[in-house]
Amino acid sequence: MNRSKKGFLNVFSNLLNQAVAAICGFIVPKLVLEAFGSNINGMVSSVSSFLGVIALMESGFGSVAKTAFYKPLAEGDSTGVSGVYNATESFFRKIALLFGGYCIVLSLIFPFIKESGFDYFFTMTLVLILGINSFMQYYFGVSYTVLFNADQRGYVSGFLQVATVILNAVLTVIMLNLGAGIHMVKLVSAGVFIIKPIVINIYGRKRYKTDRRIPADKNSLSQKWDNFGQSIALYVHTKTDSVLITLFLNYSEVSVYSVYSLVTTSLSTIITAVSSGFVAALGNMYAGNEKENFKKIFSLYEFVNTTVSFVFYTIAFVLIIPFVKVYTANIIDVDYIRPLFGGIIIISELLYCLRLPYYYMITNARHFKQIKKGAYIEAALNVVLSLILINFWGITGLAAGTAVAMLFRTVQIAVYCSKNIINRSFFMVIKRFAVNLVAAVCTVALSKFFAFGIDNFIELFVYAVIIGIIALIVFCAVNFVFYREDIKILFSKIRNIIRR
């Protein structure tokens, strides 16, 4: 199977995965929110943020392992693949033991972190169950998942994830209709998510025939700690806000934050899914020293990522408050309508998505050490500013602190990538951002002429279609003026994939 076909399958499986995750991610939390209230919904979100440290390990160290697989895969070196795999598996086993101990400790102390109105045993057991859930999703099968991604076969885990997410959503709805408590609902989810890693391990052993007798290639993960700074920054970006809200505010505010995050997280995962079709292929090109092809495909990837990110988040900027009004229409225990907060969190997540092409190319080149200082600065900026501003403006101040940190890191990564990986002027990045920012402002301005009262999801859908059409027309027109060549290459690639 050639690169284009693999890339198409990766993008398709990831887009399907994220679409299913987004739909289920809107339905299930809404049912949980209505069944158990903002307090429990906020507690679940808060615990999940504390447990998000395992995702930090998987994403950070997994990135290093993935790039280590590129060379032996490109050379057809099965011994080299086995060496990298054995090193990865050994490392993640150690991480699993640490995480298991962390879950036990967290379950014992979490009931004392914030007064919730629930007894000690209720909170402790809920933390343990959520910990098992996270453990099942992120540890088992992670080594083969990294190998699949490096070999442009991420669609294998992508399709499996679609199946488990749908099954989990169906069983959750059934459990809630039967009147099950939050503990039983989450315990059933933990059982569902063990299916994916079991299948991944079976398929991985059959597909790659990794030899456990080959000594672990410890040098392949020698830069794992250099990428730890990026892992910390990612954790701070995705999880620390809920942690700080738990410590300084309350679970109801965590619930408000989680509802808005449903939108931003869903969009960022979809945009990351689009990246999957480019990243592994670009990694192979870079490892194979295919300079001209690499630059051409990177330019295309940069164009697609920047445009899609601006389109999605511009639409979200217009729709975020109408969505929240409809989504929380039956919830009266806390005020969910926060326009300023919604706008800032949208901008923050947009900045994160805009950096993806530059960060992925830096990791493909294995320049982890060179950018780690910026990651630590980003994390520190995020935490310090959020700690200061949360005391003045609550979750709005916290979102503002995150946005400032995102801006710093996006610029830092884009500058480094332009200078040291792509070898071109940073002005090219500024131009892309500026062109799409103009299109975004025009779209928001035009949307004001089509605004109407929205009281249900059908009306929200109609309004979303209208805004989506406006955004597509405006962005296509503006980008056609400035990036006609990228558009031609994109359509040429799509035609080639369809013909094959």
pLDDT in tens, 27-80: 888 888 888 877 787 788 778 777 776 666 665 566 677 777 777 777 777 788
- Global pTM value: 0.71
| Burial (0-12, 13-18, 19+ Cβ within 10 Å), 162 | buried
pLDDT in tens, 121-160: 888 888 888 887 667 656 666 777 777 877 777 777 778 8
pLDDT category at 475 given cuts 50, 70, 90 is: very high
Scan for tokens 């870079």, then name that residue: 286
- Between CA 475 and CA 389 the distance in angstroms is 35
Helix, strand, coil tally for the chain in percent (to 5) = 85, 0, 15
Tell whether the model's pLDDT for residue 322 goes beyond 80: yes
Tell whether the model's pLDDT for residue 423 goes beyond 70: yes
pLDDT, position 60:
59
pLDDT, position 314:
95
- Between CA 389 and CA 396 the distance in angstroms is 8
pLDDT, position 345:
92
CB–CB of 127/151 below 8 Å? no
pLDDT in tens, 296-312: 777 788 888 899 899 99
Tell whether the model's pLDDT for residue 374 goes beyond 90: no
Which residues are CB-contacts of 342 (< 8 A; sequence separation ≥ 6)?
Answer: 260, 320, 321, 324
Tell whether the model's pLDDT for residue 189 goes beyond 60: yes
pLDDT category at 340 given cuts 50, 70, 90 is: very high
In total, the chain counts a number of residues equal to: 500
Q: Where are the domains of the chain?
A: 1-211, 223-500
Rg of the chain (C-alpha set): 22
